[in-house]
Amino acid sequence: MPNKTLRITYVKSAIGYNIRQKRTIRALGLRRLGDSVKQEDSQPIRGMIDRVQHLVTIEEVEE
pLDDT tens per residue, range 10-36 = 999 999 999 999 999 999 999 999 999
Task: Say how many domains are in the chain.
Answer: 1
Nearest-angstrom CA–CA distance, 17 and 11 = 14
φ, ψ for residue 9, nearest 5 deg: -120, 130
**Residue 46 scores a pLDDT above 70:** yes
User: How many angstroms from the chain centroid is the CA of residue 53?
Assistant: 8
CATH number for the domain that contains residue 9: 3.30.1390.20
- Per the structure, the complete domain to which residue 51 belongs is given by 5-61
